[in-house]
Amino acid sequence: MNVAPAAPPCTRPHAEAAARELDWLGAVIEARLRGHFRPEAAPDLPPAPEAPGPETALGALIREAGLDARARLLLALALAPHLRPALLDPFFVRNSALDRPFTEFGGQIPAQTGGFLPTGETALFVIAGTDPVARAEAAALLDPGHALRRIGVLRMERPAPGAPPLSGLLALGPDEIRRLARGAAGAPELPEDFPAHRLSTRLVWEDLVLAPEVLDQIDHIAAWVSHESRILGDWGLGRALAPGYRALFHGPPGTGKTLTASLLGQKTGRDVYRVDLSMIVSKYIGETEKNLAGVFDQAARHGWILFFDEADALFGTRTATSSSNDRYANQEIAYLLQRIEDCPCLVILATNLRGNMDDAFSRRFQSLVGFTKPDAGERERLWRGVLSGGVPLAADVSPGTLARDHELAGGAIINVVRYAAVNALRRGSGTIAHSDLMAGIACEARKEGRTP
């Protein structure tokens, strides 16, 4: 006899918590259907079981989102097709008088799977039966502002054109399914058009070359992220301080703003997502708010660090309201500023031009970090760092001389070394020579409109 392998100990508590919630859902569905077909003998609905402990993903979510029994039923219903699809088979019963499914049960039956998938209408029947007052109250659970939707756990798929709004499918993200069932979801699976992308780097904290006073500011930000819960909770400062942190990184291109954001995530164990402003700023009035709301909801849910590069393109000095479009644009910017201020995560905005930022906006930051071009000593550290790790160098290459003679930022130094490596191989050499590096430096100068 084949025996299924036991679930790993770290997974079992999460799976068992989800299973108990589904057992309860099954009992509620059975009682609801019995009452629907025999109202005179309608049984009482079984009460909600005791909430799982906070050490389980489900228990933590129930506490985090403040879910009551109705919201727990809604969550279990959305989870059922993935963990126990047969639980929804009773909804396949047909109305014999009309020879069709019961309209009040809602649901969809995709041809490719043949299983019953719950919709918003299904949720209202399970939670409130057919009582119109109870259903109207339960419909609030499906509003975008409800906790399950606000934090990105649950979503309602768009209904077919002309169909009732609540005929959309209930859906959980794949990462939520894995998290609730196994306790660890990994990186969330985001749609292709999601306007933010994860930043990563193979460099480590020790590779960060910054002026001492700048590094001290960065260390301070990292310490806040690492100790925020203790400061706000154990030390009682949550009464006066809001969660989250806002930092403005400003300075010339290539001075380490993006790398610093990536390494802050690495140091604090947080994912860093770079927000694509070109996808956020829509040409359609009102779309900007919707696009950015999804980013902030996911950030709050997963504890991300958000990084807005070239932020002055969106958050710079606001325009005079000479037209209705200007007024709408300023309203959207005001909304975005408020979302940044309310975000319970670390939000970093970066700009090459500090003077382009709205002064009123700048006052909302806990830290204004100025990135400057490196001095000769810092440049030498950068050169040595990039050229380490087995890079084949000719005898005439001197990182100290390069650092002294050429005022380049870190990003430019990386570009120079890339150019030099290709140049060396083009001329058939197995080593990078001083001349290759000088050719790369000349290329960088031309890009900046300078004479080499």
Domain chopping of the chain, boundaries = 12-182, 196-370, 376-447
pLDDT of residue 8: 46
- Report the C-alpha gap between 440 and 10 in whole angstroms: 52
Mean pLDDT of 93-112: 86
More confident of the two residues 332 and 406: 406
Region 70-76: mean pLDDT is 96
Highest mean pLDDT among 83-97, 299-313, 421-435: 421-435
Q: Which of 151-155, 198-202, 330-334, 397-401 has the highest mean pLDDT?
A: 397-401
The arithmetic mean of pLDDT across residues 337-350, rounded, is 88
Provide, rounded to the nearest whole percent, the portion of the chain with pLDDT above 90: 56
User: Per-residue pLDDT for 331 more than 90?
Assistant: no
Q: Residue 354 pLDDT > 60, yes or no?
A: yes
Residues 445-451 have a mean pLDDT of 80
- The 10 Å Cβ neighbour count of residue 327 is 13
**Which pLDDT score is estimated for 256?**
94
DSSP state, residue 53: P
Task: Tell me what the pLDDT averaged over the chain comes to.
Answer: 86
Please measure the distance between the N-terminal and C-terminal CA atoms of the chain and give it in whole angstroms. Answer: 77
Q: Could you tell me the pLDDT band of residue 290, with boundaries at 50, 70 and 90?
A: low
CATH class, domain 376-447, is: mainly alpha
Q: In terms of Cα–Cα distance, which of 345, 303, 206, 310 is closest to 263?
A: 206
Query: Residue 388 pLDDT > 70, yes or no?
Result: yes
pLDDT value at residue 1? 37
- Whether residue 75 contacts residue 81, with contact meaning beta carbons closer than 8 Å, is answered with no
The CA distance from 266 to 414, in Å, is 21
Distance CA 262, CA 11 (A): 30
Instruction: Return the pLDDT at 303.
Output: 86
* Tens of pLDDT, residues 413-434: 999 999 999 999 999 999 999 9
How many CB atoms within 10 Å of residue 161? Answer: 5
* Percent of the chain scoring above 70 in pLDDT: 85
Residue 218 — pLDDT band, cuts 50, 70, 90?
Answer: very high
Instruction: Read off the tokens for 153.
Output: 């756990």
The answer, yes or no, to whether residue 328 has pLDDT greater than 80, is no
Which of the four pLDDT bands, split at 50, 70 and 90, describes residue 41? confident
User: Once rounded to an integer, what is the mean pLDDT over residues 380-403?
Assistant: 95
According to DSSP, residue 205 is labeled: G
Most confident residue range from 166-180, 232-246, 419-433:
419-433
d(C-alpha 368, C-alpha 42), whole Å: 64
Pairing mode, strands 170-172 and 272-275: unpaired
Residue predicted with more confidence, 394 or 109: 394
pTM for the full predicted model: 0.66
CATH 3.30.200.20 fits 196-370, yes or no: no
Greater model confidence, 266 or 163: 266
**Residue partners of 124: CB distance under 8 A and separation at least 6:** 106, 135, 138, 139, 166
Least confident range from 3-12, 229-238, 370-379, 434-443: namely 3-12
Q: Is the pLDDT of residue 161 over 60?
A: yes
Closest by Cα among 223, 117, 207, 226 to 410: 207
Given a contact cutoff of 8 angstroms between Cβ atoms, the answer to whether 169 and 156 are in contact is yes
Rounded Cα distance between 18 and 12, Å, is: 10
Give mean pLDDT, residues 70-99. 92
pLDDT of residue 151: 77
Given a cut of 50, is residue 321 above it in pLDDT?
A: no
